[in-house]
Every structure is written in structure tokens, then in C-alpha cells.
Amino acid sequence: MTILSVNGTKRARMSRENGVVFQTTLADSVALSGRGLHSGRETAVEIHPAPENTGIVFRHGLRTVSGLASNVVDTSRGTTIGFNGFRVLTVEHLMAALHGSGVDNAYVEVHGGETPALDGSAAPYVEAIQSVGRIEQVAERNRIAITEPICVRRADSFILAVPAPEMRITYVLDYDHPLIGCQTSNYTINERDFGTKIAPARTFVLYEEVEELLGRELARGGSLENVIVIWRDRMSSPLRFPDELVRHKVMDIVGDLALVGGFLSAEILAVRSGHALN
């Protein structure tokens, strides 16, 4: 991992040797815009540097909401956070990009009430972060470790977390569908390759689900530009990876679990889990 240190390369070298990781924030601001996946509105985000121990804070004018699990208010085909009437839809891709890139602190100015869907993946967010780089801060990174197994189950889906020295994710995707079937992905969170191995994986939907989602006023901004649509015999675009669908599920878990408010160390096994279980 390459870290830009406010106190020079010597401290960065010492921190790696001593096993201490310091918090980071963006070196400069970045902006992205596009259509919101569920609202269908034109939306934009500006991601700004933030002081140490800020965490990820979404804001619009004077209204703010921290990117924390305690502020999750909806998990209908995405993760929505809210506080005192201020809501931000589908934060998981941006949270995954920040977490996977090793960003601890940032202010996210939101216009339109939802993060832009962009190409349906976290890659554009990661590329924007990489374009300005990060700076190291004084405080040590907030690491969260569990001391015993935790399991959450719903019907035939579950997510299990057990103590581990780092974040490792195994996801099992299981669809009764000829083009999907059962797929498995294993990934250890790594800032060096998150942007190439996980972030590019795009959102997908079965064609049979589209009408039902629109009836629930969801996916109004979905298109072939930001979603892989899957019919019984074909997909709307070539896959970026042979296992892109299950990699996207891993990316969702990274983004959802980033809402714990720090960098979690745990072995995660998820079987057919979605945003609600995550």
C-alpha cells in the first residue's frame, strides 16, 4: 500500500514496520454526477477531505447523516441511510469504494438525495479517489474486531462472521437460473487490488424482476448503461469477469459492512445474503 504521509516517508515506513496504520483522507476534493439508480433523478456527489476521526459523513447544506449502521433506514434493493428526515439512497457502492481504497474520513456532499449509479459499479468512485490520492493523518485507524461468532439468518439466507486478523469474505450466490446457478467468490480486503478485482463488478437484475421493482418505485434510473439485465438465455452486456455477478455481491458486503464505523477484522461467510442481512 502506498500512503502519502503528512510527516514524510519515514513515518509511513515506521508505521508499516510496527503494524500501526494511520487514518487517511482524500488529498483533494472530487465530484461525480449521473442518474440515481432508484430515484431516477439527476444526482451528484462531491467527496471532500475531512479531519481525523470524522468517519464518512453525508451532507446537504446544514443537514448531515453519518455513514453508520445505526442510521440505516431502508434496505430495499440498496442501502439507504437517514437522520432527522434527511435521507441518502444507495450508499453502498460509494462506501465500498472509500473503504476498499483505505479512506477513513470524508465529507460527501449529496445533490439529489441519492448517489449516482454511474456504470453500476464502484469503479468510477475508486478511480476518482485514486486521481487525487490520499493523505495520512495523525490518529490511528479505528479497527473493529469481534471476539465470538455472529450469525444472522433469514429463510434460506445467512451471513456468518467469525474472529479473524483481517477482513476476508466468502460469498455464495445461488440462483435457480440457467445463466447464474451457484457461484462462489473469496476475497481478502486489500487496498492494492480492490479497484481491479471487486470495484468493477456491476449491479444486475433478472428481467422478470424489473416490472415488480418499478411498481415499488425502485430502479427508475436503471438502464442498460448501469445494470446487467439477465434474461433466461442472454445478458444485456458481456461480463467484465466470468464471475462478475458474485463479485458484485462481495462489493455490496464491503460497502454495507463499512457502516460499522471502522475497519472490521473478521472472516465473513455469506450465503444468498442481501443488504438487509449485511
pLDDT of residue 18: 63
Q: Give yes or no: residues 105 and 50 share one domain.
A: yes
Domain's final residue, options 85, 109, 140: 140
Q: Give yes or no: residues 244 and 123 share one domain.
A: no
Q: Give yes or no: residues 123 and 234 share one domain.
A: no
pLDDT of residue 10: 39
Residue 226 contacts by C-beta under 8 Å, 6 or more apart in sequence?
A: 34, 35, 37, 117, 118, 119, 120, 202, 203
Residue 164 predicted with pLDDT over 90? yes
Q: How many domains does the chain have?
A: 2
Q: Is residue 230 part of a domain?
A: yes
Domain's final residue, options 140, 174, 196: 140
The answer to whether 270 touches 168, Cβ cutoff 8 Å, is: no
Q: Is residue 34 part of a domain?
A: yes
Q: Is residue 219 part of a domain?
A: yes
State the Cα–Cα distance between residues 10 and 30, nearest whole angstrom: 28
The residue from 48, 99, 248, 275 that is catalytic is 275
Q: Give yes or no: residues 80 and 164 share one domain.
A: no
Q: Is residue 169 part of a domain?
A: yes
Q: Give yes or no: residues 123 and 79 share one domain.
A: yes
Q: Give yes or no: residues 114 and 17 share one domain.
A: yes
Chain segment 96-105, per-residue pLDDT in tens: 999 999 999 9
Q: Give yes or no: residues 130 and 241 share one domain.
A: no
Q: Is residue 2 part of a domain?
A: no
C-alpha cell at 253: 458486503
Q: Give yes or no: residues 133 and 170 share one domain.
A: no
Residue 227 predicted with pLDDT over 50? yes
Q: Give yes or no: residues 184 and 125 share one domain.
A: no
Q: Is residue 3 part of a domain?
A: no
What sign has the CA pseudo-torsion 212, 41, 133, 264?
A: negative
CATH code for position 160: 3.30.1700.10
Chain segment 33-83, per-residue pLDDT in tens: 999 988 889 999 999 999 999 999 999 999 999 999 999 999 988 899 999
Domain's final residue, options 119, 140, 161: 140
What DSSP string runs through 50-109?
Answer: --TT--EEEEETTEEEES-GGGEEE-SSS-EEEETTEEEB--HHHHHHHHHTT--BEEEE
CATH code for position 36: 3.30.230.20
Residue 278: pLDDT band (50, 70, 90) is: confident
Instruction: Provide Rg for the chain, Cα atoms.
Output: 18
Specify the pairing of strand 134-140 against strand 63-66: unpaired
Q: Give yes or no: residues 135 and 167 share one domain.
A: no
Q: Residue 257: exposed, middle, or buried by beta-carbon count in 10 A (0-12, 13-18, 19+)?
A: buried
| Residues comprising the chain, all counted | 278
Q: Is residue 278 part of a domain?
A: no
Q: Give yes or no: residues 256 and 150 share one domain.
A: yes
Which residue type, as a one-letter code, is found at position 133? G
Q: Give yes or no: residues 214 and 257 share one domain.
A: yes
- Annotated catalytic, 48? no
**Alpha carbons within 13 A on the beta-carbon side of 73:** 14
Q: Is residue 4 part of a domain?
A: no
Mean pLDDT of the chain: 91
Quote the domain boundaries for residue 258: 143-271
pTM of the model: 0.91
